[in-house]
Structure 1
Amino acid sequence: MRLYYVQVWTQTTANSNFKMVKVHSVFHNVLPEIMFDVLHDPEYRKEWDEHMIASIEIGYLNPNNDVGYYSLACPTPVKNRDFVLQRSWLDLGNEKFILNHSVEHRNYPPRKGFVRGLSILTGFIIRPADSGCFLGYISQTDPRGKLPPWLVNKISQKFAPKVVKQLHTAAQGYQSWKASRPDPNQKPWIYPEQTLQSPRVHISEVSSRPLAFIVLRMAKICCK
């Protein structure tokens, strides 16, 4: 049995020249709760995300919404990109959602040496499947700058399966890595009381679209 399979689609939308990419995957040897942890854990991301330059927790809006800064390296001569993102998540048992979109935060304006990218919508849904989990993933991102949309669309379609492969590999080592940490039970995405240890972000500090809009759009597009 193959350990995982991947299907990829693209879709043109009315609000952008950049296509939405949709990926469906099944990991036969990764439990849903492990994949949920891998997608959330900011410290572990440093271990598997080869493109990441920095990931900064700005703070929490509430136990299911946070705001963060993320920057990534791009190949020369393309300038590096960075994002300020509001992330939202919900664990319904048999379905787990993680969503993000770009926001503005007054303490994180555009930085010199980076192009501020725009995540129109990025999301994951995780379900139990075949002794493992189903992972649905969508992404529609405008990298901004001078990159032509046709090139971005081409790269995105090829890059999405690579992300899935990275996640599958990362999931294999997560439990042993987490067990070796000084704080193996530090999982604020599961234990909301742990968010009290982090800075609090007031909604007035960010500009954002309503969360309901994102959840409904995610359910309509990603989960089919």
Structure 2
Amino acid sequence: MDDDDSGPYVESCGQRYRVMVLKDFCKFRAMAVEQDGNWTTHFSDACITVQTKPPPGGAQGGLNMVRVRREMKEVPPLVLYNNLHDAEYRKTWDANMLAGHNICDLNKHNDIGYYGAKFPWPLANRDFCNMRSWMEFTNGEFLIFNHSVPHSDCPVKKSFVRAKSVITGYYVQPIPNNPNGCVLIYVTHTDPCGSIPHSIINFSMKQAVPSIMNKMEECAQKYIQWSKDRYAPTHVHHWRTPQMDWDSKQDYPSPTPPTAAEPKSPAPSPMLKAAIAREEFEQPLPTSTGPPVGPETQQQLDTLRAEVAELQRKLFIAKQNQGGASTASPFSLAPVAPAQDDDTTAIQQYRALMQDTLNTLDRMYVQEGRVPTAREYLTRLHAVLDGLKRTIPR
């Protein structure tokens, strides 16, 4: 994204990549909202504003940066964020998409992927090899951006011109007092390469982007029903991550100090199925009075409800047995897999460590007598795993 070589780095196929961290997301946000006089406004109304400006120092041969602010009053921020991430859904509406796939995952906030795009005749088709980075924030905002990188598993193809994303991204903000709407700020500085005159590229981009935004809003509105039909009620998207604070001094969430109201132990609960069942970002489970579902789906829902009910029963019994004591009954809601005769010493130590950790985490929610949300579970589980990782000698 820039000339900062301060890391951190991740290696893939012998190539080192500087992964994007919080400071990089802050830089993109600053660029998305800056109000200096270098941006030229070409169109503006109540819903959309289109602006361009030359890149710093006249780089990239005079190709302009493009910035679009679009208000979408009927698209919740999380719905747009999921829509932008979901490659399977993109296949259903992106007529220019010829191919797209993930090449590798660098960490939970960065990956590298391939995208091939159809260009109008007589131009050759273009493709990209991009590092994509994403993060979600405690104030309800989301950010995704990418830039082009080389990768040995993504060689240049003879039938394509390899294009370059200098920086392209989406900054999603909630609309105050409207939980069903959002504001999208789209910034792109892209070079399609080849022999297309830059003056034509600059003109085409500012003309085409408004229609792209219209298409994006229309597709985001349809994504809600598409995802209901596509994914199970308990599905959690792999791109979801713990929320960050914009003013955090750390790049990723870390364990928070215990307060007087909570035990001095890592805070997650391993009751994953119960947590996912009440995930606030997913639709409620259908009831007998809701829309009809197929026999297989209904059986899965009934099984899930039974598991949740059993967990709640265990919580109640355990809390009654405590009698108000500070320690919980020695049972685990998610026991580690049983030991095998051929386990090595290292595996035995790992099992013991994980079992002790899960028992500690169970006790917290037993004491509280409640099933956590999926967000609580995932956030706190990350904190525990991150804490364990930091204790392992390098």
Fold shared by both chains (TM-score > 0.5)? yes
Among 222, 225, 230, the alignment partner of 1:173 is: 222
Alignment counterpart, residue 71 of structure 1, candidates 86, 102, 116: 116
Deviations 1:73-103 (A, max 9, x none): 0000010000001000010032211010000
Superimposed CA distance per residue, residues 148-186 of structure 1 (whole angstroms, 9 cap, x where no aligned partner):
000001111112112211110111111111111155625
- Please give the alpha-carbon distance, in whole angstroms, between the structure 1 residues aligned to 2:211 and 2:103: 28
**Whole-angstrom CA distance in 1 between matches of 2:97 and 2:65:** 22
Counterpart amino acid of 2:112?
V
> For residue 202 of structure 2, what is the amino acid of its counterpart?
N
TM-score relative to the length of structure 2 = 0.47
Counterpart of 1:10?
52
Counterpart amino acid of residue 8 in structure 1: V
User: Would you say 1:44 and 2:89 are equivalent positions?
Assistant: yes
Q: Which residue of 2 aligns with 1:60?
A: 105
Question: Which aligned pairs between 1:1-224 and structure 2 lie closer than 5 A?
Answer: 5-13=47-55, 14=57, 15-16=59-60, 17-93=62-138, 94-129=140-175, 131=178, 132-183=181-232, 185-190=235-240
How far apart are residue 107 of structure 1 and its match? Answer: 1.3
Q: For 1:104 and 1:65, how far apart are their aligned partners in 2?
A: 15
Equivalent residues of 2:103, 2:153 under 8 A apart: no
> Counterpart of 1:105 in 2: which secondary structure?
coil
CA distance in 1, matches of 2:175, 2:86: 22
- Are the equivalent residues in 1 in contact too, given 2:100–2:114 (CA < 8 A)? yes
Deviations 1:121-160 (A, max 9, x none): 0011111115210100000101000000000011111121
The residue matched to 2:47 in structure 1 has which SS? strand
The alpha-carbon deviation at position 187 of structure 1 amounts to: 1.1
Distance 1:173 1:35 in 2: 11
Separation of aligned partners in 2, 1:191 and 1:43:
19
1:120 deviates by: 0.4
Q: Give the Cα–Cα distance (whole angstroms) in 2 for the partners of residues 24 and 176 of structure 1.
A: 26
TM-score normalised to the size of structure 1? 0.81
Q: Which has the higher strand share?
A: 1
Q: Which has the larger radius of gyration?
A: 2
Q: Percent identity?
A: 37
Query: How far is the alpha carbon of 1:27 from its aligned partner?
Result: 0.4
- Equivalent AA in structure 2 for residue 158 of structure 1: Q
Flag structure 1 segments of 5+ consecutive residues without an equivalent: 193-224
Distance 1:183 1:59, change over 3 A: farther
1:214 corresponding residue in structure 2: none
Hey, what's the Cα distance between the residues in 1 that align with 2:69 and 2:50? 7
Offset at residue 113 of structure 1 (A): 0.8
Offset, 1:110: 0.6
